[in-house]
Chains A and B, each alone.
Chain A
Amino acid sequence: MRMTHRSIADSNLRGINANLVAVAKLQQQATSGVALNRPSDSPSGTATAMRTQGDLALNGRYAANASLAKTTLSSADAALDAMHDQLSMVRDRVVQGANTGSLTASGFEALALEVDSLGQGILAMANRQVGGRPVFGGTTSGSQAFTAGAGGVVTFGGRLDVPEVRVSPTEVVQTGVTGTSALGPDGANVFDLVADIASDLRTDPGALSARLAQLDQALTRLSDARTVVGVRAARLDTVVVLNAETELDLSGQLSSVMNIDQAKTYTELAMREYGYQAALSASAKTLQTSLVDYLR
């Protein structure tokens, strides 16, 4: 084949340019640490990266949701514990009132006042809020789970369904328990019982011993509710751990798609730079010489 200096120069230029383009791309990858800059770098990798980035962001959201749910459940647990304690104290007063025949009317009145105030304490606990929401009020928009109506009768003012929070792509956890399941249905709830006991202390101490069975039933309901809350909180703990593991997995997956393999990139960069230099030096040699140098 007949060669010309022009075509040698052109093909040298093409070769040098091809090497330089490769060097520039590798250098960009090495300095940014990112291998995936545009969809055409790896179409399937791009899809994976986009999905993984989304999953990662949502996973972070689920962790925040779980921590919020945990707060609500802890609060419910503490409230149930306090109510249990207060109701136990009511039980103590009932036992005292039923067994002590020597109590005077003012003694009974003192016990009744104490029971009244314990009832107020239980009501305060039952209306405990987290983030403006009554913990035992279900999905009510109001701020009270239980409200004292006319004549001091306390009724449930919330809603029966319990709020739910998503803690993983496949799992939702209920945050809390319904007020009626922990404190009894309207007309036969803890507050009615406490009010009855106070009235018995004042007017009919003989009826007190019959209240003990009812009190035990109410205490059992509170314990059961606490168990439910505890189980949900324990489930959340597991979910939080799983969530952290998922985050690690996803980050690893994202990094394997998005980021460069350092060793591979640097080796390739070194090779390409070597090729570039070889192309430059070869061009310098071939383009230098021609017959002009030797003719006089």
Chain B
Amino acid sequence: MSGFSALNLANSALTANQRALEVTGQNIANVNTEGYTRQRLELRAGNTAQTYTFYSQSDNLGDGVNSETVSRIRDAFLERRGLAERGTVASTTAVDTAFDQLETSFGEPSKTGVQSLLTATSSAWSQLSATPKDSAAREAVLASNRSLASSLNGLAASVDKQWSNTRGGTVDVLTEVNASLREVAELNDAIRTATVQNLNTNDLLDQRDLLVTKLAATIGASTVDGPDGTVNVVVGSTAVVTGNGASTVTLGGGVSLGAVPATPVVLTLGNGGPPLSPGGSVGGQIKVMNEVLPSYRTALDGVAAQLASTVNTALSTGFDQTGGAGGPMFTGTTAATLTVALTDPARIAAAAAGPVGADASSDGRLADRLSVLGQAPGSAETLYRGAVTRLGVEAGSATRAVASASAVAAQVDLARASVSGVNLDEEMTNLMVFKQSYAAAARLVTAIDEMLDVLINRTGLVGR
């Protein structure tokens, strides 16, 4: 071993500590970067003789320290858990937001909702039953039924609007998703090239992980490791990114709420390819479009149909102010199409008894029967109250689902951060350690320098 090899050794120590300081600096710089995984310089003691042969001997202590590999500190299991939980949170949040909006549309309990208008209608019928000859009371019945019908129309329209907004939003999200899928494939390509050339891929890996995390939140994607550091992105059990090839996903199925029961909205591979079973926010929105909104729309239609049929049936048994047989109040049997058909207040059948000769009955018994229609079991009012109660229960459980998914995700994030996150205290300590080590290595150089100085300048001077 020569004095110069000791200089080499000192040099490797200086380089290693400097690199370690750089890695620490990188960690500190990215302390708040989303998706950053902390890195560590892997140090290995260097040796010259790796292979031993018969009679071979080596007095080498080694040639310093090797510092080539910078590794990312991560737990693959926690990363996968994190992805799955992110998908669940996004999916439950999408459903909860939809329920929230639906609750706002229904606007119960209030003094302006459909329930209050149903009550106002009953009240108007009761008033008419007490004063069947009063044209103001007749007008009031027409007016209250009109506002009831238009309120049901409005509610149905707002559910329809929410549906089309949800679909539009989902299509926008999918544009972003397709871009991300392409990017993941490109990164896969770059990572493969870099891995083959034995270059550092850590930052590329971080970028790709961030994209995959977003894909997990939007379409519930998960990953399967491929060769040469690539990953395949999988939705359900179908691969959407394989190596450097990305597929696209599109939204198929019905384009309006009315079309959904027959053709449910579905996420397909490519354009109209096999259906996928996505999670994440898109999965949540698809659930909203296929299950949540249609079920409340159906409930509203049920209310409208029941209202129209009970009122019209009752009216057909009675007689109006002129003694003629009662005509129907409503046309249309869905919440969107319910309209008040009667225009002449005198044509409202309030009387249960028919005319005697030319004398039309002015009894209000039929109007009275209509005023208590809402209290019968299975009435429109009962159906509506049932729908609102169901809305309350389902909205409450959707909110709780978000809370519990978020709590689980927070725990997983914490566990993930505890492995991969940057701890400043730790980095500070490392900073100190590497700084000291660098100083020690520099001292080694000085020591060798002095040794050489002694050897070159102070030896061979005897007798001079």
Contact = CB atoms under 8 A, between A and B. Distances in A.
A186 B1 CA distance: 146
A163 B364 contact: yes
A57 B392 contact: no
Contacts, number: 184
A64 B111 CA distance: 20
Interface string A67-105: 011000000000000000000000000000000000000
Contact of B126 (A11, A65, A161, A295): A65
Interface in B418-437: 418-419, 421-425, 428-429, 431-432
B396 interface: yes
A295 B428 contact: yes
Contact of B421 (A4, A36, A62, A295): A4
Contact of B108 (A39, A164, A290): A39
B126 A4 contact: no
Interface of chain B: mostly helix, strand, loop or mixed: helix
A68 B351 CA distance: 18
Contacts of A290: 424-425, 428
Nearest to B368: A166
Contact of A58 (B126, B360, B363): B126
Q: How large is the interface on B (under 10, 10 to 19, 20 to 34, 35 or more residues)?
A: 35 or more
B123 interface: yes
A202 interface: no
Nearest to A172: B368
B399 A40 contact: yes
Contact of A61 (B32, B123, B362): B123
Interface of chain A: mostly helix, strand, loop or mixed: helix
A58 B393 CA distance: 28
Nearest to A133: B133
Contacts of B88: none
Q: How large is the interface on A (under 10, 10 to 19, 20 to 34, 35 or more residues)?
A: 35 or more
Given A133-B133, A295-B432, A5 B109 contact: no
Nearest to A66: B130
A262 B417 CA distance: 43
A41 B391 CA distance: 11
Contacts of A49: 109
Interface in A27-52: 36, 38-44, 46-47, 49-51
Nearest to B371: A166
Contact of B428 (A61, A133, A291): A291
A141 B362 contact: yes
A38 B106 CA distance: 9
Nearest to A51: B385
A132 interface: yes
A7 B420 CA distance: 11
A140 interface: yes
A50 B129 contact: no
A285 interface: no
21 contacts: A3-B418, A4-B417, A4-B418, A4-B424, A6-B417, A38-B395, A39-B106, A39-B109, A40-B395, A44-B389, A50-B115, A54-B116, A58-B371, A61-B371, A132-B134, A133-B362, A139-B353, A140-B359, A141-B362, A164-B365, A165-B129
Interface of A: 1-7, 10-11, 14, 36, 38-44, 46-47, 49-51, 53-54, 57-58, 60-62, 64-65, 68-69, 131-133, 139-142, 157, 159, 161, 163-166, 169, 172, 258, 290-292, 295
Given A62-B126, A159-B353, A164-B363, 4 more contacts: A10-B413, A38-B395, A54-B122, A292-B424
Interface of B: 31-32, 99, 103-104, 106, 108-109, 111, 115-116, 118-120, 122-123, 126-127, 129-134, 321, 323, 351, 353, 356, 359-365, 368, 371-372, 374-375, 381, 385, 388-393, 395-396, 399, 410, 413-414, 417-419, 421-425, 428-429, 431-432
